[in-house]
C-alpha cells in the first residue's frame, strides 16, 4: 500500500502568523500519526517562513513513522539533515525566493553535485530521494547519482486532471516504469488532493509514498484532520 506522508508546513505557517506556539507543531505531528498517517514531511526554507530549523530537531524524537525532510541542499540544509538524520531526505531545487516548489532537478547538468551530496547522506544512513519532472532522460540520469528514490513532481498532472484530461497520467506512468527498471523507488507529491489521488495511485505502478500538505490541510478545514487522513488512506487502498 502507498504510504501517506503529511507535510505540516502549513501548520507552521499558521503558528508563525501569530508569533506564538498555536497550533503546536509537535503535538500536531503526534496527532497526525495517531490519526493514521505513515509519515511526517517538512520543507524548511532558508528564511524559515514556515518550518524553522529548530522544528526539525524538535520533531525528531516524536516522529515514530517515517520522517522526511525536503529542501534545496545548500550547506545549512545539508548540515541540518546530517544532524537530525531523518528517515529520508528529498532534494528539491528551490530558488531562495520560491513560493513553492515549481520544477524538478536537471539531473544531467547537476549530476556531479547531486552525486556528492547523496553519497554524504547515504554514508549517514539517510535514504535519498530526488524531486523530478516526468522526464525519462532525466530520470535515467537520476539513477546514476546513487539516489534511492525519485519523487515525481505532480503539478502538471493535477492541473490537467482538473480539466478532465486523464491522459495527463501517461508520462507519470512511463516515468514510474522506467524508475522501477532502474531500481529507483517512487514517491510523488505536489497538488495531489482528494479529487485526484485515487486515480493517480491506481495508475502509478510501485508507488511507495505520497507527500501531501497544502491540499490536505485545506480540506481539513471543512472535513476535519483525522477524517481527511483516513479518506486519503481509503482512496489509496
> Residue 181 corresponds to which cell in the numbers above?
527498471
Catalytic residue among 50, 66, 151, 190: 190
Whether 34 is a known active-site residue: answer no
Beta strands in 158-222 (DSSP E): 185-189, 207-212
Catalytic residue among 43, 66, 151, 219: 43
CA distances (Å), 221 to each of 16, 55, 108, 128, 226, in order? 18, 23, 41, 32, 11
Q: Of 164, 36, 50, 66, nearest to 99 (Cα)? A: 50
Helix axes 25-34, 225-235, angle to 10 degrees: 40
Catalytic residue among 66, 70, 151, 209: 70
Whether 190 is a known active-site residue: answer yes
Paired residues of 210 in beta bridges: 4, 188
- The Cβ of residue 125 has, within 10 Å, a number of other Cβ atoms equal to 8
Whether 57 is a known active-site residue: answer no
Q: Of 38, 65, 42, nearest to 54 (Cα)? A: 42
Which residues does the annotation mark as catalytic?
A: 43, 70, 190
Amino acid at each position: 500500500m502507498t504510504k501517506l506522508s503529511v507535510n505540516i508546513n502549513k501548520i507552521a505557517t499558521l503558528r508563525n502568523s501569530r508569533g506564538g506556539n498555536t497550533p503546536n507543531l509537535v503535538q500536531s505531528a503526534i496527532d497526525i500519526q495517531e490519526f493514521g498517517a505513515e509519515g511526517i514531511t517538512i520543507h524548511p526554507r532558508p528564511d524559515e517562513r514556515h518550518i524553522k530549523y529548530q522544528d526539525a530537531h524538535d520533531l525528531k524524537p516524536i516522529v515514530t513513522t517515517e520522517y522526511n525532510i525536503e529542501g534545496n541542499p545548500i550547506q545549512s540544509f545539508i548540515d541540518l539533515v546530517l544532524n537530525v538524520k531523518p528517515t529520508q531526505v528529498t532534494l528539491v531545487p528551490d530558488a531562495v525566493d520560491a513560493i513553492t516548489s515549481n520544477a524538478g532537478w536537471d539531473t544531467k547538468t547537476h549530476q556531479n553535485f547531486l552525486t556528492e551530496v547523496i553519497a554524504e547522506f547515504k554514508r549517514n544512513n539517510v535514504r535519498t530521494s530526488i524531486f523530478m519532472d516526468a522526464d525519462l532522460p532525466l530520470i535515467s540520469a537520476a539513477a546514476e547519482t546513487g539516489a534511492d528514490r525519485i519523487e515525481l513532481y505532480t503539478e502538471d498532472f493535477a492541473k490537467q486532471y482538473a480539466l478532465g484530461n486523464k491522459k495527463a497520467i501517461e508520462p507519470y506512468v512511463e516515468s514510474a516504469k522506467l524508475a522501477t527498471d532502474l531500481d529507483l523507488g517512487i514517491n510523488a507529491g505536489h497538488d495531489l488532493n482528494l479529487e485526484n489521488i485515487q486515480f493517480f495511485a491506481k495508475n502509478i505502478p510501485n508507488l511507495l509514498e505520497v507527500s501531501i500538505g497544502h491540499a490536505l490541510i485545506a480540506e481539513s478545514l471543512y472535513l476535519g484532520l483525522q477524517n481527511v487522513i483516513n479518506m486519503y488512506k481509503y482512496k489509496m487502498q
